[in-house]
Structure 1
Amino acid sequence: MRFVLMVFGVALMLSGGLWALQGLGLVMWPAESFMLAERQWALYGAITFLIGALLFWRGSRRR
């Protein structure tokens, strides 16, 4: 279970980071994405990143 939490946490952190950077307009890839420079996606990405970080932390702390 630890491994699953950690892998899922990393996946959420990576996708949330991408969403946040796209929402802030710092990453303009892919060019046809609807998330580019949309502030709401920066918020969604930050929330997703934090959930992933919590899952990763929880997985690394369990025995």
Structure 2
Amino acid sequence: MRYVLLVLGGLMALVGGVWLLQGIGVLPGSFMTGQAFWAALGAVLLAVGVILVFAALRTGGRR
């Protein structure tokens, strides 16, 4: 379960970061460039992804 959370959280953080950067206009060349909706959605997805990664790292202790 730990690895599933790590992979899922990492992918969510990566996609959220790209959407955030496109939404604020840092990564041009997409229909998402400069759109506040994608910036907000990216920020939320990035935060959820980071939380999942931290949760996976905290719960994955040795037995």
Using the size of structure 1 for normalisation, the TM-score is 0.89
Higher relative contact order (CA 8 A, sep 6+): 1
Match of 2:35 among 26, 33, 38: 38
Structure 1 residue 54 and structure 2 residue 59: aligned? no
Q: CA deviation at 1:45?
A: 0.2
Gaps of 5+ in 2: none
2:24 maps to: 24
Letter in 1 for 2:14: L
For 2:37 and 2:3, the matched residues in 1 are separated by 31
The sequence identity of aligned pairs, in percent, is 40
Gaps of 5+ in 1: none
DSSP 3-state at the match of 1:54: helix
Q: CA deviation at 1:40?
A: 1.2
Letter in 2 for 1:16: G
**In angstroms, what is the RMSD of aligned CA positions?**
0.8
Using the size of structure 2 for normalisation, the TM-score is 0.89
Kindly name which structure, 1 or 2, has the bigger radius of gyration based on alpha carbons: 2
Deviations 1:9-28 (A, max 9, x none): 11001000000000000101
Q: Detail structure 1 runs of 4+ shifted over 4 Å in the superposition.
A: none
